[in-house]
Each structure stands twice: as structure tokens, then as C-alpha cells.
Amino acid sequence: MSEAAREKAEEAPAAAGGSLPTKILYCSFCIKSQHEVKTLVSGPAGIFICDECVDLCNEVIAGRPPDPSKFPSAKELPTERLLEHLRSIEDTVQGKGNQLQRVVEILRSREVSWAQIGAALGISRQSAWERFT
């Protein structure tokens, strides 16, 4: 696991002197935990990618698409794994929402109109204003 990912996984020790269990991190692509892969790289907004998915990406970039049968679909994953992964999915969604809010704030500071922001998001000017103010 990368140092950045490891730091995000650590939690402060409990007040009684013990330590809380560390948060388990998951690859945002294959849903494998940090304990199932060699390396887990932390990206922006709570996104993580494992070394196996990076290898897969490199194969695709090199023009060698992988055999899709090698990858289980969500329907094939055990219920416990899906339940464990719900929180990390929610954290990713929240992180992306925060990132979106920051970008909109930057655009507004540059005096970009609500109409332009709405058009970029595929929503109305009014909807953009209501959502981000």
C-alpha cells in the first residue's frame, strides 16, 4: 500500500490508550482490499487503485484488451464483500461531490456564469445555482 493510502487508513488512538482498528481500504475498480493486493495507490477524492488494476490499465493502453471472464462481476462477489465495500463506495461518492463543489467554487471565483456551469453539467442554470449555493 502506498504511504498516502496507509496514512488515510490510520485512525487516532483511542482515549483509553488502546488503538482503534484501522479502516480497510479497497481498490475502487476491483473491490479488493488493501490486504488482498501488493500495492494500493491513493488518488484524489478517496479513489484507490491496486497494482493489479494498474497492470490491467497498462495492458489496455498497450492495445491488449484483457479477457473479461477473468474478472468477476458484482453479481458474483460474496455478499459480505459487497457489504464491506459499501462504505468505501459512499466515501468515494462523497469525495467526488466535495471535489465538484470546489471546482464550481473556483469557476464562480473566475466569474463563470451559472448558465455555463449548468451547461457543462447538463443541467439548467437554476439547478446549478440551487445545487451549489
Q: Higher confidence at residue 40 or residue 5?
A: 40
Q: Higher confidence at residue 27 or residue 3?
A: 27
Distances (CA, A) of 2 to 9, 13, 34, 55, 126: 11, 21, 10, 16, 42
The mean per-residue pLDDT over the stretch 38-45 comes to: 89
Residue 110: band (very low, low, confident or very high) from pLDDT cuts 50, 70, 90: very high
Instruction: Please give the model's pTM, rounded to 2 decimal places.
Output: 0.57
* Digit-coded pLDDT (tens) for 72-83: 777 877 888 888
Instruction: Please determine, for residue 96, whether its predicted confidence score (pLDDT) is greater than 70.
Output: yes
Q: Which of 15-24, 46-55, 73-82: highest mean pLDDT?
A: 46-55
Cβ–Cβ under 8 Å, residues 7 and 46? no
Cβ–Cβ under 8 Å, residues 117 and 126? no
| Distance of alpha carbon 63 from alpha carbon 3, whole angstroms | 31
pLDDT at 8: 47
| Structural element, H or E, at residue 40 | strand 40-42
